[in-house]
Structure 1
Amino acid sequence: MDVDRANAARIYDYFLGGAHHFEVDRKQAELILAGNPDMAHTCRANRSYLRRLVRWCTAQGIDQFLDLGSGIPTVGNVHEIAPDARVAYVDVEPVAVEYARELTAEHDRVHVVRADLTVPGEVLDAVAGHLDLSRPVAVLAVAVLHFVDDDVAAVLGHYRDAMAPGGVLAISHGSTDLDDPELAARTRAIQEGYRTSASPVFLRDRAELRRAFTGFELVEPVMRDVVDWPAPTGETPVGAYAVVGRRAA
């Protein structure tokens, strides 16, 4: 466990009002807040998006979820939103994994895996006994891919190839490719705030995010801020795009 450098999962927990973080994470979080005082709102907005997203998926008849970069458990986990679904949580951060296992120990429909989402083969092997990949699965990557310094389209392509038709890929991702220059500046400030942590941020433009959904049919609305998916909420935008796609036949 790396406690010498701040970690994105523990920083996120701090912003959400959790208790599973260390002094180094709190200091990094305060540095991020100095650049963008709205950061806590950004984290809460992503969490609210996750809740709406899971409910939307269940309304489509999906009852299996693969939550990549699931983070430290807090209120509104996928298995709480969709209690009848089978859920696999995947994270590489040991604190996140241990707390998730503790929280879900009595839930036989929940499986927690410590794995790196950028190694899809390892992830898919680990969840194959819990999720039926021959049936539609919702693969969720909420507020995590902007911490990945890999070719996101290539990584997600492996998950796509393992998904049955009708499955869903859903992400939220920070970006400075925005129509509002002030919001773009606040997003760059967040990126700078994470620069010295163990989880630097890599922002992507709209074209890159669309490319990551090759082989999927994009669900309207496309490239909407997370606060306004699937419909406007009236909340302040946070500079993170919500993108949802269905696996084509």
Structure 2
Amino acid sequence: MTRPSWAPPEIDIDRPSIARVYDYWIGGTHNFPVDREVGRTVEQANPLLPKTFRANRAFLRRAVRELSALGVRQFLDVGSGIPTEGNVHEIALAGDPDSRVVYVDIDPVAVAHAGAILAGEPRAVAIQGDLFKWADILDAPETRGLLDFDQPIAVILAAIIHFVPPEADPVALVDKYVEPLAPGSYLVVTHAGAETVPDATPGFAARYQGAVNEVIWRDRAELTTLFHGLDLLEPGVVPVPLWRPEPGGDPDNLGADAPMLAGVARKP
């Protein structure tokens, strides 16, 4: 097929990429036939997975819109994937053209696509980084060049902390991202889980975890501990479709049974 202008020349468009499969699932356009084939195959076996990712992305758009309305102009999105349609920089810049966004992902394919998409956009940048190497991300020249840590920043950890095993201490890891933030900053987290795990929703847990390797399933109480010392915004930690839903609700009808929890909190 003809290589589109947004596809970097070093990227193999005939080999599937999990970042582009995810883009396909959430309704993006930065994917290729080989990615869509993989996506459809996984969806047939695990129809809940793409629905959950769509609900997660819809939550993220709502959260960024809410924070922008509260005056936040800086966003650090760790584990961002490909910043395609409706992503953080589009929502933030629509709220205020002075907003700035740093995207971080460990996947070089996602970062390469992001670099091509963001070319010519000085208010957003994408860098490669490992969640566990928090100092490298926070002190990266691109991060420090775009974000002012003396002013509020929203740190977004969407669908990534559930890859952190208990022995790696997810609470301490999240603290590393929150500690250097100025008062008035925010933490946004989504995480595979449910009100009670696994007894209340064993089917959801098994189907989600069976499709995504190494996911650590946590309940609402466990996720709430990630926000210790912060002020949770209403409605607290809830399934992603229930966090300040827009009129019309959740098109996939996951509702309270969505196997993904979300929360947003302010640093006092």
Tell me if TM exceeds 0.5: yes
Residue 41 of structure 2 aligns to a residue whose secondary structure is helix
The aligned residue for residue 109 of structure 2 is 95
The aligned residue for residue 267 of structure 2 is 247
Q: Sort the Cα spacing of 1:74 and 1:24 in 2 relative to 1 into closer, same or farther, 3 A.
A: closer
2:175 to 135, 138, 157: 157
1:137 to 153, 157, 164: 153
Quick one: distance in 2 between partners of 1:13 and 1:159? 26
The aligned residue for residue 58 of structure 1 is 68
Give the letter aligned to residue 259 of structure 2. Answer: G
Residue 172 of structure 2 aligns to a residue whose secondary structure is helix
**Can you give the 5+ residue segments of structure 2 that lack an aligned partner in the other structure?**
1-10
Shift of 1:219: 1.1
Quick one: distance in 2 between partners of 1:239 and 1:232? 19
2:31 to 20, 32, 40: 20
Aligned residue pairs total 242
CA-to-aligned-CA distance 1:49-77 (integer Å, 9 cap, x gap): 11111110011110000011110122101
1:211 to 225, 235, 244: 225
Residue 147 of structure 2 aligns to a residue whose secondary structure is coil
Shift of 1:2: 11
Identity of aligned residues (%): 39
Q: Sort the Cα spacing of 1:29 and 1:140 in 2 relative to 1 into closer, same or farther, 3 A.
A: farther
1:30 to 34, 41, 64: 41
Quick one: distance in 2 between partners of 1:2 and 1:185? 36
1:75 to 85, 90, 93: 85
Give the letter aligned to residue 91 of structure 1. Answer: D
Q: Sort the Cα spacing of 1:58 and 1:214 in 2 relative to 1 into closer, same or farther, 3 A.
A: same
The aligned residue for residue 58 of structure 2 is 48
Quick one: distance in 2 between partners of 1:106 and 1:19? 18
CA-to-aligned-CA distance 1:170-210 (integer Å, 9 cap, x gap): 11111144489675412321101223xxxx31222222212
The aligned residue for residue 169 of structure 1 is 187
Contact residue 160 and residue 215 of structure 1 kept, 8 A: no
Quick one: distance in 1 between partners of 2:100 and 2:208? 34
Q: Sort the Cα spacing of 1:6 and 1:117 in 2 relative to 1 into closer, same or farther, 3 A.
A: farther
Quick one: distance in 2 between partners of 1:161 and 1:183? 34
When Rg is computed on C-alpha atoms for both structures, the one with the higher figure is: 2
Shift of 1:96: 0.7
Quick one: distance in 2 between partners of 1:92 and 1:211? 25
RMSD across aligned positions (CA): 2.7
Does 2:150 correspond to 1:109? Answer: no
Residue 170 of structure 1 aligns to a residue whose secondary structure is strand
Contact residue 184 and residue 239 of structure 1 kept, 8 A: no
